[in-house]
Structure 1
Amino acid sequence: MSEATSFFEQVGGHATFDRLVRRFYEGIAADPVLKPMYPEDDMEGAIWRLTAFLEQYWGGPGTYSEQRGHPRLRMRHTPFHVNPDARDRWLGHMRVAVDELQLPPLHEAALWDYLERAAHAMVNTFEETP
């Protein structure tokens, strides 16, 4: 049996990232500020995009870039009103999802560190939610 080399493999591969993202979107579905930012008629597409992006980032398959090109996260989030409240709500839902994975502490810390930095980088306004 070969040793897992990437973070993606070490945490359980696709099944883990799929669980993470699906749990995250359960929270989004009930959030009055964030839900309008996601396509009601394409939630499975949103789930696929985030799952594929995270898998690729953490050493899994490069499917995201193959199908969508460079991630360009800030550019892709420009149309949305991402203020500190939206960021904090996003992080709150992601925190629940990460906690439910029950990853080993070092893996959990690495994943959370990235998610927190990414969320802060997406803030594009300090105006209140319209």
Structure 2
Amino acid sequence: MTKTGTIYEAIGGFNTIDQLVTAFYKRVGNHPKLTPIFPDDLTETARKQRLFLTQFFGGPKWYTEDRGQPMMRRRHLPFEITPERRDAWLACMDAALTEADIEEPYRSAIFEKLTMTAHHMMNTPD
């Protein structure tokens, strides 16, 4: 993936994932398109996201150890994920990547992988 091994290692490991997720959920919790499908208290959601992104970008398999296989599409089926919500989610992530100061080429690689994942999560038309 990278000269240093994984994206997770290249961006600085868990501390950077933590900064990214904190910046992301600060935005999600205030986004009018996203708040209807997220809980009022985002603590547990953010914890699971930290575990998932750690594993997704090549770090320890904490998500699988804690929650089992990711099966992200299945886990997201109960929520109406429209193209508009996908775009809102991606906009929050884009801003969070900037706030977390993730440098190129990792920023683009992360956003590309998350964009593909976000497209896969859609399950409802606008």
> Contact 2:21–2:96 at 8 Å: present in 1 too?
yes
2:110 aligned residue: 111
Where does the alignment leave 5 or more consecutive residues of structure 1 unmatched? none
Instruction: Summarize the alignment of residues 1-130 of structure 1 with structure 2, pairs less than 5 Å apart.
Output: 4-41=4-41, 43-126=42-125, 128=126
User: Matched residues, percent identical?
Assistant: 36
- One-letter amino acid matched to 1:118: T
Q: Supply the distance in 1 between the matched residues of 2:6 and 2:94 (Cα, whole angstroms).
A: 22
Q: Supply the distance in 2 between the matched residues of 1:49 and 1:98 (Cα, whole angstroms).
A: 18
Shift of 1:117: 0.7
Shift of 1:90: 0.3
Number of aligned residue pairs: give it.
Answer: 124
Where does the alignment leave 5 or more consecutive residues of structure 2 unmatched? none
> Contact 2:86–2:118 at 8 Å: present in 1 too?
yes
Q: Supply the distance in 1 between the matched residues of 2:122 and 2:65 (Cα, whole angstroms).
A: 27
Q: TM-score with structure 1 length normalisation?
A: 0.89
Shift of 1:38: 1.5
Larger radius of gyration: 1
RMSD, aligned CA: 1.4
Worse-superposed segment, 99-108 or 10-19:
99-108
- One-letter amino acid matched to 1:73: M
Shift of 1:32: 1.7
